[in-house]
Amino acid sequence: MPDKSRQDWTSLAGEIEIESRAFIDGAYRDALSGATRETINPANGQKLADVANCGVADADRAVAVARAVFERGTWANMAPADRKMVLVRWAELIADNADEIALLECLDVGKPIADTTGVDVPSAVRTIRWSGEAIDKVYDQISPAPADCLALVQRLPLGVVAAIVPWNFPLSTTAWKLAPSLATGNSVILKPASNTPLSALRIAGLATQAGLPDGVLQVLPGPGGSLGKHLSLHEDIDGLTFTGSTEIGKQLMQYSGQSNLKRTFLELGGKSPNIVFADSNLEKAAMMAAVAVFYNGGQTCTAGTRLIVENSVKAKFVEMVVEHTRNWMPGDPLDPTTSMGPMIDAAQLQTVADYVEIGKGEGASVMAGGNQVLADSGGCYHEPTIFDGVNNNMRIAREEIFGPVMSVIGFKDAEEAVAIANDSIYGLAGAVWSNNINTAHKVAAAVRVGTMGINNYFGGDVTVPFGGFKQSGNGRDKSMHAFDDYTELKTTWIEFD
Ligand code: NAP
């Protein structure tokens, strides 16, 4: 819990200086066209800043700068131990400015200040520091070649990488992309989501302060449909890393095929199963079932939106989860006691409202919530909402709602639970709750997802890879495995006379 009060944060919010220009070649700059776009505080609908709205010309300029510095080798050929020092210093500078960056993220995204101070900023610091500290411990390989040969297998940076990130975890996803791509020696162009560019712009300047050579990192705010598409189709970008919707991810694969086959790694949507057996610690499972969906207002790719409960305890368990919705009533994100803020914008709020109607129309029962609240605030708040009586064929069980909406589905045995869990186009995350070690392990092994929790939800840290099976994506963020997405393998085969 941060030590500042709601009044402290509100008064800091009134004074905060917002950097709203793009970051190119080591300096903040307006878009070449002079265009700007408003960024809005979703908690009250008020404008925060007019942010540079970059276009194709800015992208070409950024790519040219990034390419030039890569070819010079200023960063790519720097000793890993020296790259490490820059990244570690950058992490320390972010930590030194933690309150300011946490406040920016709170205002821009509508995330509760308790989350941005307690999760988003510390996790970004740890991610950048960890990748930096790891990079001078990575060895290349010598193959088992014949005695008169020596074969080296080395990892080399891709070159120029574009990173496109979403609005739901702007700082975390930015760190997940920038830390390994920069550590491995690439030049990078980051396009934040149009709704949430502020934290990425702020930390870019700190990278230069930490010693990152000019031109290695660019941050270009601008529209996905034009700027993002142009970057994705660019012939002089070697790698594309993306976090966002499955729909846009599919387009990016096509852009890669239509252009230069740039390496394209995707972290996409989910409809994650949270499976509860009757023999589990039901108190803890109920508390975490609520966390799994209502954290970040359900605007979380890994949200456990399909609560799959053993029939024998379902009615009682749903009551227990309903009780927990009281702890998730939305409120002012600047209040340190708030657990859930607003939806990101009016369109997302409408999407949630539409799905609530779809669920009712499909015959599911609203056990809690179901309505917009705090409309007078000017913000986009929605109650935590629970549907019971859901079957896995309903749209509310199949489609990613990206709001605080839980769909409860019953099962009779482990086989049925696994079948329901795997009956999805997605495969991002999930969890199983059981005090029987056999049940827990067998079910966890059978569910086809990138991250599975046993008796926890949202478990994991920077040391483990994160990414999806099936239409949840093909890349991996975090851990040493993230380095694979940003490097090419090169073989050098040497023959001795
Ligand atoms: P989105 O609409 O796919 O947008 C993501 C990013 O792509 C934004 O920066 C967007 O720019 C840009 N973009 C949009 N159209 C583009 C195009 N044609 N070409 C290139 N870039 C384009 O997703 P979102 O609504 O921001 O984020 C929510 C989604 O992200 C959910 O599906 C969620 O599950 C997923 N997500 C996945 C993970 C994971 O790790 N698997 C983590 C977090 C979120 P604009 O902002 O300008 O539209």
Domain assignment of residue 466, yes or no:
no
pTM of the model as a whole: 0.98
pLDDT of residue 110: 98
Q: Ligand 1: which residues within 6 Å by Cβ?
A: 164-169, 173, 191, 193-195, 223-225, 228-229, 232, 243-245, 248, 251, 267-270, 301, 400, 402, 428, 468, 472-473
Please give the residue range of the domain that contains residue 297.
273-461
In ligand 1, which atom is closest to the CA atom of 472?
A: 41
In ligand 1, which atom is closest to the CA atom of 167?
A: 26
Name the residues annotated as catalytic: 267, 301
205: CA distance to ligand 1 center in Å?
24
Burial class (CB in 10 A: 0-12, 13-18, 19+), 484: middle
165 and 89, same domain (yes or no): yes
What is the distance between the alpha carbons of residues 185 and 254, in angstroms, rounded to a whole number? 27
Q: Tally the domains of the chain.
A: 2
357 and 320, same domain (yes or no): yes
359: CA distance to ligand 1 center in Å?
25
pLDDT of residue 1: 47
Domain assignment of residue 370, yes or no:
yes
Query: How many Cα atoms occupy the beta-carbon half-sphere of 476 within 13 Å?
Result: 18
Domain assignment of residue 12, yes or no:
yes
Q: What is the CATH number of the domain that holds 427?
A: 3.40.309.10
Mutational pocket test of ligand 1: of 194, 243, 247, the residue with most ligand atoms within 8 Å of the beta carbon = 243
50 and 187, same domain (yes or no): yes
Q: How far is CA 351 from CA 188, 223, 399, 497, in A?
A: 33, 21, 11, 69
263 and 284, same domain (yes or no): no
371 and 387, same domain (yes or no): yes
- Taking only the tens of pLDDT, the chain with its 497 residues reads 458 999 999 999 999 999 999 999 999 999 999 999 999 999 999 999 999 999 999 999 999 999 999 999 999 999 999 999 999 999 999 999 999 999 999 999 999 999 999 999 999 999 999 999 999 999 999 999 999 999 999 999 999 999 999 999 999 999 999 999 999 999 999 999 999 999 999 999 999 999 999 999 999 999 999 999 999 999 999 999 999 999 999 999 999 999 999 999 999 999 999 999 999 999 999 999 999 999 999 999 999 999 999 999 999 999 999 999 999 999 999 999 999 999 999 999 999 999 999 999 999 999 999 999 999 999 999 999 999 999 999 999 999 999 999 999 999 999 999 999 999 999 999 999 999 999 999 999 999 999 999 999 999 999 999 999 999 999 999 999 999 999 999 999 999 99
Residues sharing a CB contact under 8 Å with residue 92, sequence separation 6 or more, in sequence order? 125, 129, 210
pLDDT of residue 3: 87
Mutational pocket test of ligand 1: of 240, 254, 301, the residue with most ligand atoms within 8 Å of the beta carbon = 301
Q: Could you tell me the sign of the dihedral formed by the alpha carbons of 384, 390, 391, 395, in that order?
A: negative
Give the residue whose CA is nearest to atom 10 of ligand 1.
224
257 and 203, same domain (yes or no): yes
In ligand 1, which atom is closest to the CA atom of 246?
A: 32
